[in-house]
Structure 1
């Protein structure tokens, strides 16, 4: 499957963060977008609240100028983060009074968030979801329809 460079890099960074215990939904440098942007937190200045989908003035300026950060526009970054937080069980925007998971760094919680983010990243690039393993189990005449090489 052909994927874009930005998708490949994003998945590698998220994979490494997950397995190195460097993924934390409440930290702007260790969340999904923080990891995609090389553990920088400057992206948090694109909106007024962590998990919000509305750009603030600075975010709008960057969006209108066509700026991209590691291949993603400011609006795409906000959507990536919102997708991650929602799938982890947070009520948005992130606020201490809003609903959140009891154990935000639990591997199952983080896996749910990453699965949703990767699905969204694939949609952005117009490619099949790389997390979809259902084709591996399709059969035709009692034989596998696809081989691992075709995936």
Structure 2
């Protein structure tokens, strides 16, 4: 499947971060956006509240100037981060009195966050969800429509 360059780069970075234990929703350089933006934290200045969809003055200026960060607009960056935090079990926007998950870096929490982010990234690029495997189970007259090659010996 052919995807946009920004989507492909983001997916590779998120995949590597997940499998190399470098995905952490409580670290702005290691969260979904932090990884997509090359482990930089400058993106956190686009909003006054972490996990909010509301751009602040700086974020609005960048948005209105058409600036993009690794292909993503400031508004898209905030969307990605909110989806990641929400799917990891946080209540957003983050605040010291809002509940947070017991173990935000558990494989389950990170996987849930990652799946939600991948779905959003595909949606932003008008691409089918690369994690949607439902076609593998489609049948016609009781036979599978699509066949998967197996690598069993």
TM-score range, shorter chain: over 0.9
Q: Distance in 1 between matches of 2:3 and 2:24?
A: 26
SS in 2 for 1:71: coil
Deviation at 1:142, TM superposition (A): 2.6
2:100 maps to: 100
1:55 maps to: 55
Q: TM-score, normalised by structure 1?
A: 0.95
- Give the alignment of 1:54-73 within 5 angstroms: 54-73=54-73
Q: TM-score, normalised by structure 2?
A: 0.94
Q: Distance in 1 between matches of 2:58 and 2:91?
A: 24
Q: Distance in 2 between matches of 1:148 and 1:13?
A: 26
1:26 maps to: 26
> Is residue 79 from structure 1 mapped to residue 82 from structure 2 by the alignment?
no
Q: Name the Cα RMSD after superposition.
A: 1.1
> Is residue 45 from structure 1 mapped to residue 38 from structure 2 by the alignment?
no
> Is residue 9 from structure 1 mapped to residue 9 from structure 2 by the alignment?
yes
- Give the alignment of 1:123-142 within 5 angstroms: 123-142=123-142
1:90 maps to: 90
Deviation at 1:148, TM superposition (A): 4.3
Which ranges in structure 1 are unaligned for 5 or more consecutive residues? none
Which ranges in structure 2 are unaligned for 5 or more consecutive residues? none
Q: Distance in 2 between matches of 1:131 and 1:139?
A: 19
